[in-house]
Amino acid sequence: MMQAISQILSAALGTMAFGLLYGVPRNYYPYCGAIGGAGWLVYLAVSPWGGILASLVATMAVALLSRFTAIRKRCPVTVFLITGIFPLVPGAQVYWMAYYFVTDETGLAAQNGYLAVKTAFAIVLGIVFVFEIPQRVFARRRKKKC
Amino acid sequence: METALEAGHILLENGAEIFRVEETMDRICHHYGLESGNAFVLSNGIFVTAGDTREQVFAKVQHIPVSSAQLDKVVAVNQLSREIVQGKYTVQEAGEALKRIRNMQGKTRWARILASGLGSGAFCVLFGGNLQDAFSASAAGLLLYLFVLGMGERLSKIVFNIAGSALVTLLCGFLGFVGVGVHMNFMIMGSIMPLIPGVPFVNAIRDMANGDYISGSVRMLDALLTFVCIAIGVGLGTALLHGGMGGGYLV
């Protein structure tokens, strides 16, 4: 439990730091952090049912939150989506793949490579699903581009 | 139309999606009374034609090199285009506003270096490292970004990513060797995060979802290539560590 909390906090912190790295305007930092943290919270909550499913659901959560925030703040959704997705990107699997490849554990390397590709596909599907929802569901009759 | 093209240029250069670029340019063209404004946007070029009652057809092509993303410029241009449509700007004023946005200062180098370190440390904890690991990942992240700022312009993207992640791996190996960090794996995972191509990856997905397949696949290729390069770099670094320290050192 403690670990989960520290992980969520660090996800939020990391998301904010990367927001700065990509030049997000200062007043959006808290939102970026909150979205990143929420994404990881969802990931942890769903992960007992499988890592790939968790990535999918967490991405959908991040994308939904990004769209809501973008509408409310009237700024491009990209700002929140890119930073919020960072904790979910399969960086760890890419690392394990390289590590096992070098240490002659080809089986494990292939397994982690597949996992990275599957996670990436889950993220793709998550984003695509959420962006198929028509804009007006979010805008509530206020016709604004996100 | 110059204005529209300039707006599109800034948007594309700083990591906006294709459809946002097209829509913004269309809106600016229409607002300033161009009847047949048409923009065709690829991931590294914009083609516009426009015509009004006086001039029949006027066309312009602009090539846009891929560069690093500054999302605050995307936000600023987006805001500007909305205000243009509301009629707050003349053409000249809009041009000046765009020039201001183009010259907008990014974050200072130190802020970005610090952010890179902070992010590396945070992601190290996220992957399961403890505080010591986070500390050394931060150090590696800081140095990595120094490397990014120093060499990013000079090296090709492939060499740059391989060298960057190999550097991080060696650095983490060293820090682990002198006993600052405990878990090598988590340290490395955390500190390669600043290299992970988040912007092209997300934009590629959204471009493809919008049907801009050419730009989408170019950007996806960019992201994949970077992932592969990072993997190669980490592999290289790990191999060097194994060789240099008699194997079996990495836990």
Is B219 or B10 the better-scoring residue by pLDDT? B219
Q: Which of B219, B101, B73, B111 is nearest to A18 (CA)?
A: B111
- Residue whose token pair is 């987006």: B78
Task: Report the amino acid identity of residue B23.
Answer: E
pLDDT of residue B161: 84
Note the pLDDT of residue A101.
Answer: 81
Beta strands in chain B (DSSP E): 38-42, 45-50, 58-63
CB contact under 8 A, B193 and A13: no
- CA angle centred on B165, ends B133 and A29, rounded to 5°: 65
Note the pLDDT tens digit of each residue in A90-129.
778 888 888 888 777 888 888 888 888 888 888 888 888 8
Inspect the interface and report whether the beta carbons of B119 and A18 lie closer than 8 Å: yes
The C-alpha atoms of residue B173 and residue B194 are separated, in whole angstroms, by 18
CB contact under 8 A, B202 and A76: no
Q: What would the mean pLDDT of A36-41 be, rounded to a whole number? A: 86
Q: In chain B, pLDDT over 70 holds for what percent of residues?
A: 77
Q: Does the pLDDT at position B251 exceed 50?
A: no
Instruction: Choose the closest CB to A79 out of B75, B82, B239.
Output: B75
- Taking 60 as the threshold, does the pLDDT of residue A142 lie above it? no
Q: Which residue of B has its CA nearest to A79?
A: B71
List the single best residue of B21, B23, B70, B71 to mutate versus A (max A Cβ within 10 A): B71
Q: What single DSSP character describes residue A86?
A: G
Question: Which residues in B75-113 are b (16+ Cβ under 10 Å) and which e?
Answer: bbbbebbbebeeeebeeeebeebbeebbeeeebeeeebb
Nearest to B32 by CA among B99, B95, B101, B84: B84
pLDDT the model gives residue B95: 74
Helices (H) and strands (E) in chain A, counts: 7, 0
Check residues B88 and B213 and name the one with the higher pLDDT.
Answer: B213
The 10s digit of each residue's pLDDT in B105-151 is: 666 777 778 888 888 888 888 777 777 777 788 888 888 888 877 77
Task: State the average pLDDT over residues B195-199.
Answer: 80
How many whole angstroms separate alpha carbon A145 and alpha carbon B17? Answer: 13
Distance CA A70, CA A73 (A): 5
Among the partner residues B69, B125, B199, nearest to A6 by beta-carbon distance: B125
Structure tokens at B18: 């294709």
3-state secondary structure B99-130: HHHHCCCCCCHHHHHHHHHHHHHHHHHHCCCC
Q: What does the domain layout of chain B look like in residue ranges?
A: 2-102, 109-244
Are the Cβ atoms of B15 and A40 closer than 8 angstroms? no
Rounded to the nearest angstrom, the minimum Cα separation between B56 and chain A is 31
Lowest-pLDDT range of B6-15, B129-138, B181-190, B223-232: B6-15
pLDDT in tens, B213-234: 888 888 888 888 888 888 888 8
Token digits of residue A18: 């990367």
pLDDT band at A143 (very low <50, low <70, confident <90, very high): very low
Average pLDDT over residues B235-241: 83
Phi, psi of B216 (to 5 degrees): -60, -45
> What span, in angstroms and rounded, lies between the C-alpha atoms of B159 and B208?
28
Distance from the Cα of B55 to chain A's closest Cα (Å) equals 31
Beta carbons of A22 and B185 less than 8 Å apart: no
CA distance B112 to chain A (A): 5
Confidence of residue B199 (pLDDT cuts 50, 70, 90): confident
Chain B residue whose CA is closest to A28: B72
Q: Where do we find the tokens 């930073």?
A: A83
Give the pLDDT score at A137. 67
- B56 vs A103, residue with greater confidence: A103
B67 pLDDT higher than 70: no
- Report the 3 state secondary structure along A99-123: HHHHCCCHHHHHHHHHHHHHHHHHH
**Chain B nearest CA to A2, separation (Å):** 12
B193–A14 CB contact, under 8 Å: yes
Greater confidence (B61 vs B231) lies with B231
Is A102 an 8 Å CB contact of chain B? yes
A20 and B192: CB-CB below 8 Å?
Answer: no
Task: Give A109's contacts (C-beta < 8 A, 6+ positions apart).
Answer: A96, A97, A98, A99, A100, A101
The stretch B16-40 carries a mean pLDDT of 72
pLDDT of residue A145: 45
Best of B26, B104, B123, B228 to disrupt the A interface (most A CBs within 10 Å) is B123
Check if A86 contacts B (Cβ < 8 Å). Answer: yes
Query: Is the Cβ pair B72, A101 closer than 8 Å?
Result: no
Choose between B57 and B144: higher pLDDT: B144
Over 70: is that where the pLDDT of B247 sits?
Answer: no
Q: Which of B3-7, B93-97, B204-208, B226-230 is least confident? A: B3-7
Place of tokens 């592999």: B235
pLDDT for B93: 73
Q: What pLDDT, on a 0 to 100 scale, did the predictor assign at position B52?
A: 63
What is the count of residue pairs from A and B with beta carbons less than 8 Å apart? Answer: 164
